[in-house]
Amino acid sequence: MMRKNIVEDHTGPNMRIIPLGGLGEVGRNMMCIEYEKAILIVDVGFRMPEESMPGVDYIIPNASYLKGREKNVAGVVFTHGHYDHIGAVPYIVEKLGHGVPLFASGLTAGIILKRQEDFSYLPKLNLTRISDGSKIKLGPFSVEFFKQNHNISDNMGLFIQTPIGNLIHTSDFKFDDDPVYDTPTNFQRLKEIGSRGILLLMSDSTGAEEKGHSLSERKIIENLEEIFKQSKGRIIAATFGSLINRIQQVIALSEKYGRKVAVDGYSMRTNVEICKKLGHIKSEKGTLIKPNQIQNFPDHKVTLICTGAQGEGQAVLMRIANGEHKFVRLKKQDTVIFSSSVVPGNERTVQVLKDELYRQQVRVWHYKMMDIHAGGHGQQDELKEMMSIMKPKFFLPIHGQYSMLVNHAILAAESGIPEKNIAVVENGQVIDLTQNKIAIESKPVEASYIMVDGLGVGDVGEVVLRDRQTLSKDGMFVVVAIIDRKTGKVKGSPDIISRGFVYLKESKLLLRDTRRRVIDIVEKSTGSGGAVNWSYVKDNVRNYIGDFLYAKTQRRPMILPVIIEV
């Protein structure tokens, strides 16, 4: 639908907008806004790995575009404290040079600094706290922060003044007239900002495929209260560790119904600790207890708020379901609440977890049974209302899978923004913006995945990942042959090690035939001895044995030939 207005590489002092993550995917948000040589960075987040990425912890943006341009970075501003917007800070900010200025709201700054404690070897961050209405000047950019409703506190949209016009970055947002433990959307403020004249609106697309209006948190707490009224045993409420508003709701309901509250899960405990200090989470004295104190109170007087609503293997709820939790064993009277929607890709693991809970005869509630989760992203009605308020000349959908971006662009066109003024781009594509046009440069920048695995950053590339995929699919087959250097003959019978391919004790015939073929292949490849190309020998073993095993089993394990000369 959207036209691809391609221009040749940028040469003048126009605005360039360069998404390094977050467009064409959910998560890994990072955007560069460049005027002449000055660069403003918005967010530095990560995303979780896909099922096809075994062993990978998470994926961060590829910041190679900034290499050699570190001195041009005027500053980094953060919209909110979710890890898909701040999680890559320890890996990327340190490469921008010592002292690059960072700006974040109170809660966002608290989460960034707390996580940075796990990277104590890195230089101290030059982080300044901002609040609703704060204004900062960074090179040619003037940034004003304005509060937006989301499902985490201290979420900020950005009004960015530039030499060519005003830009709006909405952050993740929803419109909520009646939130719980938060102030409602300030439409008057938004309209005042929109009245200044907006050249470009960059708007959250996560809810662009959902019709209507997102649920208010008020409706969620009313439904959660119904569960509290019915529950006769312990309540175990699982949600995201960063869903602060929901955690506060469960604490308040627990107090209303005379329950003590334990919080379990590293990220959740950390965030609650930060939020209590900042006043985002409030509780009466004595309400919060430690998980090891749960057994000191009657079951109907206990609530446990924990991580694991996505079926994560080592998260608290999974450990409880598997009977591996240190202090909690499920009982028939217990009630388990999944107070979050299922992240795409996690459906299977969540279903396995729910089935296990049902087998243990506990009562399970999830968002498909009752509205006990509201997303933090505006749906179609809210997205159109944002466009109506801001009245932008140009429109760029951000934050979302490609289908979300396209559907958001369709909404923009339906709202009256000319199609030629709308650009749909993915990571690495460069927007060229002037006062009169928006176009896509012909040459993209590097925006590939950088994978983090343990202490390794970027050392797990496509080749390593492909090997892991092969190992996870068809296993490994090691062939060890001892060869007489003088004659080129195999001494004895080759040893074979199989992992994840076949069980050796039950595959004796296959192994016998394989050994014979190895001897034949090696001796043909070495000739009569003398000068032997051992790489050639290994390649022949790898290729011919691979073809033989596939013919016999229809599986292709990773073949690892080991040649020992004696």
Residue 66 vs residues 132, 170, 179, 226, 295: alpha-carbon distances, Å: 29, 24, 40, 52, 53
For residue 119, the model assigns a pLDDT of: 87
Q: What is the pTM of this model?
A: 0.80
Distance CA 321, CA 315 (A): 10
- Higher pLDDT: 215 or 504? It is 215
Percentage of the chain exceeding pLDDT 90? 54
Residue with the bigger pLDDT between 485 and 284: it is 284
| pLDDT at residue 467 in the model | 63
Distance CA 484, CA 407 (A): 67
> Which residue in this structure is represented by tokens 């890709």?
345
Q: What are phi and psi of 314, to 5 degrees?
A: -100, 5
- A 10 A CB-CB count for 391 gives 15
Residue 298 has pLDDT above 50, yes or no: yes
**Structure confidence at residue 53 (pLDDT):** 60
Average pLDDT for 454-479: 67
**Of 147, 163, 170, which is closest to residue 387 (Cα–Cα)?**
170
Q: Each residue of 309-359: pLDDT tens digit?
A: 888 777 899 999 999 898 999 999 999 998 877 766 677 888 889 999 999
pLDDT per position as a tens digit, 136-151: 999 999 999 999 999 8
C-alpha 84/C-alpha 240 separation (Å) is 13
Q: How far is CA 373 from CA 211, 307, 349, in A?
A: 17, 15, 19
Spell out the domains of the chain, with CATH numbers in brackets.
6-212+375-457 (3.60.15.10), 217-365 (3.40.50.10710), 475-565 (3.10.20.580)
- Between residues 503 and 270, which one has the greater pLDDT? 270
Q: Inform me whether the pLDDT recorded for 9 exceeds 70.
A: no
Residue 528: what pLDDT?
Answer: 61
Rounded mean pLDDT, 483-494: 83
When mean pLDDT is compared across 32-46, 381-395, 517-531, 542-556, the lowest value belongs to: 517-531
Beta strand spans in 267-370 (E): 288-289, 302-306, 335-338, 363-365
- Can you give the pLDDT at residue 362? 92
**Which range (2-6, 10-14, 122-126, 266-270) has the least confidence?**
2-6
Give me the pLDDT at residue 458, please.
Answer: 58
Closest C-alpha among 213, 205, 245 to residue 339: 245
Task: Report the C-alpha gap between 425 and 336 in whole angstroms.
Answer: 41
Task: Write down the pLDDT at residue 529.
Answer: 57
Question: Span 160-186, mean pLDDT?
Answer: 92
Q: Which residues are catalytic?
A: 204, 377
Q: How far apart are CA 387 and CA 396, in angstroms?
A: 11
Higher pLDDT, 90 or 343: 90
Using a 10 angstrom Cβ sphere, with 0-12 exposed, 13-18 middle and 19 or more buried, the burial of residue 386 is: buried
What's the pLDDT score for residue 6?
Answer: 53
In 3D space, the residue among 165, 164, 182, 160 whose CA is nearest the CA of residue 173 turns out to be 182
Which residue, among 202, 204, 171, 173, has the nearest Cα to 43 in the 3D structure? 171
* Tens digit of each residue's pLDDT (9 = 90 or more) over 46-69: 987 766 565 667 888 999 999 999
282 vs 467, higher pLDDT: 282
Return left, alpha or beta for 42; rule: phi > 0 is left, psi -120 to 50 is alpha, else beta: beta
What is the pLDDT, as a whole number, of residue 14? 82
Q: What percent of the chain has pLDDT over 70?
A: 89
pLDDT for the residue 3 = 44
Give the DSSP letter string of 122-184: SPPPEEEEE-TT-EEEETTEEEEEEE-B-SSSS-EEEEEEETTEEEEE--S-B--SS-SSSPP
pLDDT above 60 for 369: no
| 85 pLDDT above the threshold of 80 | yes
Looking at per-residue pLDDT, the higher value among 53 and 74 belongs to 74
What average pLDDT does range 103-122 have in this prediction?
Answer: 92
Residue 277 phi, psi (nearest 5): -65, -35
Q: What is the pLDDT of residues 530-566, one digit of tens each?
A: 677 888 888 888 899 889 988 888 888 888 888 888 7
Q: What value does the mean pLDDT of the chain take? A: 87
88 or 555: which carries more pLDDT confidence? Answer: 88
Cα distance from N-terminal residue to C-terminal residue, the chain: 67
Give the pLDDT confidence score for residue 12 in this predicted structure.
52
Mean pLDDT, range 241-248, rounded to an integer: 86
Residue 379 pLDDT > 50:
yes
Whole-number pLDDT of residue 1:
46
- Residue 29 is predicted with a pLDDT of 95
β-pairing, 302-306 vs 260-264, is parallel
More confident position, 371 or 249 = 249
Q: Comparing 369 with 246, which gets the higher pLDDT?
A: 246
pLDDT of residue 221: 84
Interacting residues of 395 by C-beta distance below 8 A, sequence separation 6+: 200, 201, 203, 387, 409, 412, 417, 421, 422, 423
Give Cα 548 to chain centroid, integer Å: 41
Q: Closest Cα to residue 200, out of 173, 160, 150, 142? A: 160
Q: What is the pLDDT at residue 103?
A: 98
